[in-house]
Structures are given as C-alpha cells and as structure tokens.
Amino acid sequence: MYWENKVRLQEYEIREIRKKLIEKDREIERLNTEVEIYRKKASKMMVRSRSLDSEIQVDLKRQLQLVEQEASILRQKVNNLETENEKLTIENKRMTLRLTKKPPPSSADILQMENMELKQKLEEQQRKLETMREELEKAAAENPVLIQDYKPRRESLTSLLTDNENDLIASLKKRLKTKDEEYQSVQARAVQLEVENSRLSREYKKLKEALGSKKRPMKAIRDSATRSELRELVSELQDEISKHHAAIACQFERFG
C-alpha cells in the first residue's frame, strides 16, 4: 500500500539522520576534548604569546559552534521526520479502517480518531519541550565559556520557546476537551435514538394489533348486487381505510 511504503521510507530516513547526528555528537565531544586539552596546556606553557593563544581558542570555539549548529539542525530534522512519520502512521490506520469497514466511519469513529491525533500531538509537544530544555541545560554545563557569550540570546530563545510551547499545549488541550465533549454528546444521542426507535417500534406493533382486532367481517357480495349497492360497499371500505390511516398518523405524531 502507498501509505505503508511511505512510512517505511520515512523510518529509513530517520535512521540515516540519526547516524549523522551520532557522528556530529562525537565530533562535538572531540572538539570539547581538544578545547580542554588546550586550556590545560596553555596554563602550563607560558612561552607562547597571548595573541596566539587567543587565536587558537577562538578558532576552536568557532569550530565547536559550527558543529553544534549542524547537530541542532539534524536534531530538528529528526523531530520533523518523526512527526511526519506519526502523521503517516495515523493516515495509514485511517485508510485501513476505511477499507476494512464497509460503511463509512460514523461521527463517533471520526471523533475518536481526532482525539487520538490530538493526544499524540500533545504528547509530542511535551516531549519536544523536555528535550529542548535538557539540551539547553547540557550545553550550558558543557560549554560555560561559549554559552556565556550568548547567554542573553539563549535566555530570550528559551523564554520564547517556552511561551510558544505552552500556548500550543494549552490549545491542544482545549481542542482535545472539545472533541471529548462532542464524542460524548454523539454517543448519548445515539443511545437516545436507539431507545426512541425501540419505543416507536413497540407502539407501532401495538397499534397494528389493536387495529387488526377491530376489523369487521367484510360484507358478503351477492352475485346479483346492483351497481348502487357495490358503490355503497366501496364507499364504506374507503371510509374505514381512511380512519385507520388517520389513527396511525395520529399515533406517530404523538410519539414522534
């Protein structure tokens, strides 16, 4: 199926990007190690000029910053692909449900699927928020000098991300609550309609039985009946049928 193939391709791409991300993390560790080794050597070697030390340190910081930026981009791409993969998985389940069920999905089924999607989005946003906080704390702990230079920007970015994430999570929770209420309303309405349908069926059955028990035996038609007598008999039958129809209609209006 098309959606299953697309899901497999997305999973393959996620695995490849994770490999690249692992390589970038290793490169970050290597550069951090070089920076630490350089600092230890610089404290012991007083022969080198201060300007050369500064240039080497700036160059290492620049390399470290570039690698961290690449790793951040890869992490973001992994998150995007995982989100896309979840959407495809949900769509695959939706298509499978439509194919396996002969009638189209009811309102309750649609609301249930939407609830599932909203819950997954909410969980994903909460996971992203925790991941970003952990990465910022880790970066601040591992690179105090580099992070100190960008501390105002980092604090502003953290505040902005937190506000946006909280707003999005609040919006998803609100939508989820609305969908739950709609789902409960649809279920209650379905139960009410089933009860009403059963009641009407019972009343209709009783009405038919009551009308059947009140039927009069049909008058015998003589072979020698005149045209006037036949017209009178037909008129009586039509009047009786009209009365029965009126009684049935009255019952349906009363119970409808």
Segments forming the whole domain that contains residue 11: 2-100
How does pLDDT run across 192-220, given as a tens digit for each residue? 877 777 777 777 677 667 656 555 444 55
CB burial class (10 A; 0-12, 13-18, 19+) of residue 156? exposed
Pick from 187, 163, 165, 162: which is nearest to 121 by CA? 165
| 256 vs 248: CA distance, rounded Å | 12
Using CA atoms, how far apart are residues 183 and 189, in angstroms rounded to an integer? 10
* 207: in domain: no
Is residue 12 situated within a structural domain?
Answer: yes
How far is 212 from 121, CA to CA, in rounded Å? Answer: 61
Q: Is residue 168 part of a domain?
A: no
The mean of the pLDDT values for the chain is 68
Q: What is the pLDDT of residue 101?
A: 57
End-to-end CA distance of the chain: 47
Residues near 214 by beta carbon (within 8 Å), at least 6 away in sequence: none
Q: Please give the pLDDT value at position 150.
A: 46
Question: What pLDDT does residue 146 have?
Answer: 46
**Tens of pLDDT along 5-35?**
666 776 777 777 777 777 777 777 777 777 6
CA nearest 149: which of 140, 138, 160, 136?
140
Task: Judge whether 107 lies within some domain.
Answer: no
- For residue 239, is it within any domain? no
On whether the CB atoms of residues 53 and 42 are closer than 8 A, the answer is: yes
> Could you tell me where the DSSP H helices lie in the chain?
2-44, 50-100, 107-142, 144-149, 151-213, 227-255
User: Is 61 part of a structural domain of the chain?
Assistant: yes
Q: Summarize the confidence of residues 117-144 as an average pLDDT.
A: 70
**Is 158 within a domain?**
no
Q: Is residue 221 pLDDT above 70, yes or no?
A: no
**Per-residue pLDDT tens digits for 47-89:** 444 555 566 667 777 777 777 777 777 777 777 777 777 777 7
Alpha-carbon distance values, 233 to 126, 220, 246 (Å): 82, 10, 20
**Secondary structure letter of residue 131 according to DSSP:** H
Q: Residue 256: its pLDDT value, please?
A: 52
Rounded percentage of the chain residues whose pLDDT exceeds 70: 52
128 lies in some domain: no
pLDDT level of residue 147 (50, 70, 90 thresholds): very low
Number of compact structural domains in the chain: 1
Rounded (5°) CA angle 133-139-141: 105
